[in-house]
Amino acid sequence: MALIVLAADKGAPGVTTAATALGAVWPRPVLLAECDPSGGDLAYRLPAHDGGVLNPGRGLLSLGAVARRGLHADQIYEHTQKLVGGLDVLTGLTHGEQAGGLTWLWGPLGRSLAALPHADVLADCGRLGAHAEVGDLIAEAAQVVLFTRPSLDHVAHLRERLALLDGRPVVVVVADPRSYRASIEEVRRIVAPWDVAFVAGLAHDPKGAELLRGQWGGRLDRSLLIRTARELAGRLAALLSPETAAGERTDRSGASR
């Protein structure tokens, strides 16, 4: 189906939280893949489907161990796990040093993720620029989504990144709910000279993020994080495949659309 790269240029402002929230409400089958060469933290942050812990040794690291003999899309699910709620995840490296032996992996991984026949892939690539080799994965993406905070330094780095990227990326502003619309409009104005697909928002919602991790009481589906993630997921899915935007489903956060 489609490979969607999620990344940031400076500080990676909540990319993993955003990727998990989007995966929870994605309007069709989806796999969340941690593709940050600096290391991932899903294995330590979120519970497995049985309430236990994810296995940090099963995921990108175990896939890389067998992929030297060739990597195909049908191998991916042999190394995935399920979160509570049923979201399939390919957990990332446990620390950045492991990336040194896997510089060859990113291109084949990108091609395999893009070729998954029955699911979209949300690839959390973290902060761009630190590992040039991840560009081989990004080149296989149907869509790149860049996250930014509305602060001057983050937007300045975003503009530099837009000048380097091919295609029409989506820009997502991680914004304080108190100035949500104004922040999005300001970033939209600043990036207007670049050809972006659209500029959208995602609420900076610490309580919602804790709900997503199962560490705070309340209703996850009512959180600002999930409400804005659902809107963003719908726009992204429509951009990738307009005919899939309509359709009712029950998402993995337990909320009905």
pLDDT of residue 215: 59
Q: Tell me, what's the pLDDT at 11?
A: 65
Helix, strand, coil % in the chain, rounded to nearest 5: 40, 20, 40
Integer Cα distance of 83 and 49 in angstroms = 5
Domain boundaries, the chain: 3-244
Distance CA 181, CA 206 (A): 18
**Confidence at residue 44, expressed as pLDDT on a 0 to 100 scale:** 80
pLDDT at residue 251, rounded to an integer = 47
* Nearest by Cα to 51 from 84, 89, 87: 84
CATH class of 3-244: alpha beta
What's the pTM value of the predicted model, to 2 decimals?
0.90
**pLDDT value of residue 53:** 86
Strands 30-34 and 120-127, by their bridges, are parallel
Where the chain has pLDDT below 50, the residues are: 216-217, 243-257
